Amino acid sequence: MSVAVIGANGQLGRDLLSVLGHDAIALTHREIELTDADSLRRNLERLSPSVVINAAAFNLVDDAESRPFDAFSVNALGVRDLGSVCRNLDCELVQFSTDYVFGLEVNRDRPYDESSVPGPLGVYGLSKLCGEYFAREICPKHFVVRTCGLYGLHGSGGKGRNFVETMLRLGRERGQVRVVNDQRCTPTFTADLARATTQLIGTNAFGLYHLTNAGSCTWFEFAVEIFRQAGIQVNCEPITSAEFGARAARPRYSVLATEKFERLGLGAPRSWQEALHDYLEARGRKLDAGT
């Protein structure tokens, strides 16, 4: 079984390549252009993969507010064209989406499942939701995977460092950080997401899934745990989203329920604290090796 991974240079893409091993076909931005329908068709027809995993996205949440054309070109129209190619090749499509398709329910306090009604707050979430609909409508053999708060050993593509790396850097440089404490979600280690995603492939249980680590926290609580596990003394101050002042609104609560995936008998996700522990250990080994 051959699996083409679009966005192979990103933090999730590189973990997918690691899990898939010899089955993987790495496709970076130089090899394939998601916003070019001819590029998608030409490259995928030549490779004729059994599965296409799209790990590429326009994920600059704040920039999307002023660059809606770019966000929709990649996250929606690109997925539409990719879905058409996969349908014509009769191959499976794995499309990643986001917890940011939710957010309108201000007083929400229970995890969203796959039947929950979406309500994005910003351009990024809306563009990803449109991509979901295109993938589900156009490509019969689809897995649409919503996830949340990704961090991985390979950084975060065009966004630079992920949240964990940003906190560690700021904590060491300044000794204090101010972190939003009114947005609750589930940080997710890309290595765990990659493993769970590859488990889905081949099940023929096509559809929409939520995949994250288990549990939930605010970004402030996540930062405190990062510093605790890393053994760094940092003065961590909780602030509100309004005080932080980001251009794009974020969901106050966007925890995702993973029971649908668990019912497939593929195992339950581990806690975000345990995943963070393994990330920090792997990060330390990577730094020691100088890679």
Render pLDDT for 183-205 as a digit per residue (tens, 0 to 9).
999 999 999 999 999 999 989 99
What per-residue string of b and e applies to 196-229 under the rule 16 or more CB within 10 Å gives b? Answer: bbbbbbeeeebebbbbbbbebbbbbbbbbbbbee
The gap from C-alpha 102 to its chain's centroid, in whole angstroms, comes to 14
pLDDT value at 122 more than 70: yes
Q: Distance between CA 20 and CA 32 in Å, rounded? A: 20
CB 11 within 8 A of CB 150: yes
Phi-psi region of 261 (alpha: psi -120 to 50; beta: other; left: phi over 0): alpha
**Of the listed 124, 151, 209, 253, which one is catalytic?**
124
Give the CA dihedral 145, 196, 116, 82, nearest 10 degrees. 10
Q: Please tell me the predicted confidence (pLDDT) of residue 286.
A: 67
Q: Is 124 a catalytic residue?
A: yes
pLDDT value at 154 more than 90: no
Q: Please tell me the predicted confidence (pLDDT) of residue 291.
A: 56
Domain count, the chain: 1
* Lowest-confidence pick of 153-162, 166-175, 257-266: 153-162
Q: Please tell me the predicted confidence (pLDDT) of residue 289.
A: 64
Q: What is the mean pLDDT of the chain?
A: 94
DSSP state of 270: P
pLDDT: is 219 or 29 the higher one? 219
Q: Distance between CA 279 and CA 190 in Å, rounded? A: 9
Question: Token match 């990649």: residue?
Answer: 74
pLDDT tens-digit map of 47-70: 999 999 999 999 999 999 999 999
pLDDT tens-digit map of 132-151: 999 999 999 999 999 999 99
DSSP 176-218: EEEEE-S-EE--EEHHHHHHHHHHHTTS---EEEE---BS-EE
Q: Which domain holds residue 12?
A: 3-289
- CB neighbour list of residue 165: distance below 8 Å, 6 or more residues apart: 151, 155
Confidence of residue 284 (pLDDT cuts 50, 70, 90): confident
pTM for this entry: 0.94
CB 16 within 8 A of CB 53: yes
Residue (of 135, 130, 3) closest to 58 by Cα position:
130
Q: Please tell me the predicted confidence (pLDDT) of residue 158.
A: 46
Average pLDDT over residues 109-118: 96
pLDDT value at 278 more than 50: yes
pLDDT tens-digit map of 206-244: 999 999 999 999 999 999 999 999 999 999 999 999 999
CATH of the domain at 197: 3.40.50.720
